[in-house]
Amino acid sequence: MAYTMLITGFAPFGGEPINPSWEAVKALPEQIGEYRLIKLEVPVVYGLAGQTVLERAAVVQPDAILCIGQAAGRSAVTPEYVAINLRHANIPDNAGYCAMEKPIVEGGPDAYFSTMPVVRIREAIQKAGIPSAVSFSAGAFVCNDLLYTLLHHYAGTAMKAGFIHVPLLPQQAKNGMPSLGLDEICRALNAAIQCL
């Protein structure tokens, strides 16, 4: 049986010319395992990121939504376990907004757990020979904003929604920061999708 996955990566932000999440998503094949992939680049803007994905999902009616984001400083591919109801970052989004101690959804639950098998994803990535670890913090920037928005919107439904952070690409990494090659990131994402 064939399924449809909406898979997203972010536009560049913070002065970077590229974002490894979108570079990797673009490079993936159109079909992985039982999933036909529909790819979407997402703006690094609070609120608009989630709105963009939900609008596309309403059209394509996917069986799963997997979002990919950049995590500078991380050396492993990290599936996210939880999204919190908080916007709080010391850098502005791409619209110039710097959020401090703001809820994503007024009166919404404090947090949601991913509806994808996070531990199984981590194990599949490790079996592919790529460093991977479960993360319990997607931060409080636009990555977390997007995951929380999706989990809130689809709460109580059969939709599988999840988020994976990937390290910087080697050309982005400065001053000894950890990085991972594009091929390795793509292999990690391939393994993650195959195990669903």
Active site residues: 80, 143, 165
DSSP code of 102? B
Cβ-contact 80, 114 below 8 angstroms:
yes
Tell the residue number behind the tokens 């990919």, with chain if given.
68
Taking the C-alpha atoms of residue 79 and residue 124, their distance in angstroms, rounded to an integer, is 11
Q: Which of 61, 67, 68 is nearest to 19 (CA)?
A: 68
Cβ-contact 166, 185 below 8 angstroms:
yes
Taking the C-alpha atoms of residue 104 and residue 87, their distance in angstroms, rounded to an integer, is 6
